[in-house]
Amino acid sequence: MMIDFATIVPLAIFASITLAVFAALQIFSREQSRASQRLDEFNNPLLREQQRGQKNGMSNLLEKAAPALSKALEPKSELEQSQLKIRLANAGFHSPQAPMIYLAIKTVCLVVGLVLGGGLGMYRYGTTQAGLTTLIIAAGAGFYLPEGVLAYLISKRKQAIFLQLPDVLDLLVVCVEAGLGLDAGLRRVAEELKDTAPEICGELAMCNLQLQMGRNRRDMLHDLGVRTGVDDVKALVAIMIQADKFGSSIAQALRVQSDSMRVKRRQIAEEKAQKTAVQMLFPMVIFIFPGIFVVLVGPAAIKMMDQLLNKP
């Protein structure tokens, strides 16, 4: 049985690309020998405990390969690096290795898109323009998929912080008016609401940790607004910085901000309620009106057809 040469070439190219990717992953995942690991453990007694907490599998492989994979996409300027760190912080990733791992994931998704798109395009269309178009579309989809996931995580986290902030402010006002300082009030709020408001309480816990390490309160509050990315948190931070600067009552400022945020949340709920009538119009016209039309007009249409057919 003769095998067509045009069928062999795309399969051979797909197999070579797959083997190259597999070889690269094997190189990145190559571990040290047991003797070298034991020598390192003798030099650093804490290394054994650190290795016990390390993750295995694909996460460990990605962590090892992240520096090499992210090097091609690494931002060149400090402004781009800071913007990437802020976006990751808005999504809840505060680790110093988060930008590197994120860029490595983008590289891996790009390679997977190239392999899958190239294999599918060459298998179905061969080395034609349609096959090249399939490869480019698959590679672009793989490259921008992490961007879409990150944008979704940022939007979801901002929405959660916005909904949790009024309750957090109410409890903080109670703590401050009861005699606690701002630092102790933030610590108390982070402990009490960590189960019901984990996002904002995690940020407050980080603020408490920075204060314990000697960080300036103004810088800490400014970083809180930048990390969350929520406009209401930024406004709250600005009010707290001004109150701390001019020596005014922080409790009164927090109460005013809490009332304004609660009014804003109620206005958003009323706006959504007013939009409901207009939004329900299209489903009613598309799904409900045709059924009503058939029920009301159907019998009359049948009678008219019978009369027309039976007419002498």
| pLDDT tens for each residue of 50-72 | 554 454 445 566 566 666 666 76
* More reliable by pLDDT, 55 or 252: 252
Short-list 234, 151, 158, CA closest to 199: 158
Query: Among all chains, which residue has been given the structure tokens 């009678």?
Result: 303
Three-state DSSP state, 147: helix
Spatial separation of the C-alpha atoms in residues 143 and 152, rounded to whole Å: 16
- Ordered by start, the domain boundaries in the chain are 159-260
As a whole number, mean pLDDT of residues 30-41 equals 54
Does the pLDDT at position 217 exceed 50?
Answer: yes
End-to-end CA distance of the chain: 71
The amino acid at residue 94 is H
Among residues of the chain, what percentage have pLDDT more than 90?
Answer: 2
Name the maximum alpha-carbon separation found in the chain. Answer: 109
The band of 37, judged by pLDDT with boundaries at 50, 70 and 90, is low
Short-list 7, 260, 183, 209, CA closest to 94: 209
Q: What is the pLDDT of residues 120-156, one digit of tens each?
A: 777 777 677 777 787 788 888 888 888 899 999 999 9
For residue 298, give both structure tokens: 């159907």
**pTM of full prediction above 0.85:** no
For residue 233, give both structure tokens: 């948190």
* More reliable by pLDDT, 135 or 32: 135
- For residue 169, the tally of other CB atoms under 10 A from its CB is 23
DSSP assignment string, 23-34: HHHHHHTPPPPH
Does the pLDDT at position 33 exceed 60?
Answer: no
The amino acid at residue 225 is G
Q: Work out the angle between the directed axes of helices 129-177 and 182-192 (0-180°, nearest 10).
A: 120
